[in-house]
Amino acid sequence: MTEHTLTVAGVTVDTRHWIGGERVASARTFTDVSPIDGAVIGEISRGTPVEAAAAVAAAKAAFPAWAATSRAERARLLHAVADGVEKRIEELAIVETTDNGALLRSHRRGVMPRVAHNFRFFADRLLTLAHEDFETRGHANHVSWDPAGPSVLITPWNAPLMLATWKVAPALAAGNTVVLKPAEWTPLTASLLADIAAEAGLPAGVLNVVQGYGSEIGDALTSHPDVRRISFTGSVPTAQRIAASAAARLTPLSLELGGKSPLLVFADADLDLAVDLAVEQYDNAGQVCLAATRILVEDSVAEEFTQRFVDKTTALRQGDPRDESTDIGPNIHPRQLEKIDGFVRRALEAGARAVVGGHRGDGQYYAPTLLTDVAQDSEIVQEEVFGPVLTLQTFADEEEAVRLANDTRFGLAATVATGDRERAERVTARLVAGTVWVNCFFVRDLRAPFGGSRHSGVGREGGTWSFDFYCDLKNTVTAPKGFEDHG
């Protein structure tokens, strides 16, 4: 270990920024702490507007050559990055688990393989990206996707590397250069990604990583005149500040924000399946934007559903996420834990009842919680908690179920459990959500559009939609006459 590196479970991580193909240190640092046990992991370079400007300048300088790089070569390099990820899955998994507290088994088996898949998918999509030419009164129309320019990508702490590469991969595939700003609570795997990208042969300045507090460098990145795209995943208040910052220069934005998603359980549903879907919402200690935190159950099966849910929840094992037998790990930060506990305490004071949980555990652990007797207009039903806290309400019929489901300012996702295919079609057609799952949860395909409605976001990413955002679309119209005949 040197002055600018630290060791996490035997893995060496550089604590400096990655700008223009070089490691750059800041005069100040911030402390990275593991949520597992509160242990200090190390001191990380704390970016300032100076480093932010340097990263954008590096991205701008690298952009012309990268934009001119052939699709085949860009795809080859993205596949090389994926190869590097796959070689280091175990290292990436243990570092990210230490940094954000999510289950190690999930990182090994699902999350880090998905990181590699993000690069491979958009590399392959790039090679097939096309729109059928068409004719207008004898004139030929040809649609193309032109690289837009330097892109600022601001990513969250709940799935740091997977959600970062969900943005990095399509931006690079599109021919844009990137400045990645990871969440300050989970900076480590972004630094490892910089190493992997460099080893894969990505040219200097194409990918830059700047660490630090959004309050200190966010505006320097989002208001910079040379930035052509901004993509952000996080909270609504932060998104509002970013949008205000970008508005002065009309910089296009993609915003994937919070959720307060419903799970509708109808009496004709397979109750075992419905209970499994409900308990699955505690994944990642409830720190999932897509989580169906509002469980809505038809009156006639509510009592049976609740009992089965309690039985299954109380059997969950909460503890060290590095243990293969653990089902729920810690919450990310003392500040987040206090926020979660505040939501629950206020709900209980307002008359809610904790059927299970409702209290802190040791350290940064919060007991899986289900609250009933909650009013539709209450804070606990309307606002995103982002922790292992669910509410349960009942409904009398389909009409009431849909009304309750849509009655928040969010619209990220929804889940429906029913044994009636026609009901599923009727209900899903009326739900306000970017993604609806029927008798399943969290099935994601990169070919599908992803994003939210209302306060859950702006825009869609995935498949061709990602290229639509990260590129300037051009239509070239060519007349049938006017060219000199050189034959």
Amino acid, single-letter form, for residue 288 = V
Q: What is the DSSP string of 438-481?
A: ES------TTS-B--SGGGEES-BSHHHHHHHHEEEEEEEE-SS
**Contact, 77 vs 202, CB < 8 A?**
yes
**Catalytic residue list contains 471:** no
Rg (CA), the chain: 24
DSSP character at residue 388: S
Backbone angles phi, psi at 12, to 5 degrees: -85, 130
Cβ atoms of residues 233 and 154 within 8 Å: yes
Mapped onto helix, strand or coil, the DSSP state of residue 336 is helix
Nearest to 157 by CA among 300, 287, 319: 287
Distance CA 343, CA 117 (A): 37
Query: Positive or negative, the Cα torsion across 347, 352, 357, 362?
Result: positive
- Cβ(281)–Cβ(156) under 8 Å? no
Rounded to whole angstroms, the Cα distance separating 450 from 166 reads 11
For the residues of 104-123, what is the DSSP string, one character each? HHHIIIIIHHHHHHHHHHHH
**What does the alpha-carbon distance between residue 215 and residue 323 come to, in Å, rounded to a whole number?**
35
CA gap 42, 32 in Å, rounded: 5
Rounded CA separation 108/129 (Å): 31
Q: From the candidates 51, 96, 184, 289, which is the catalytic residue?
A: 289
The verdict on whether 289 is a catalytic residue reads yes
The active-site residue out of 51, 91, 96, 256 is 256
Q: So which residues are the catalytic ones?
A: 256, 289
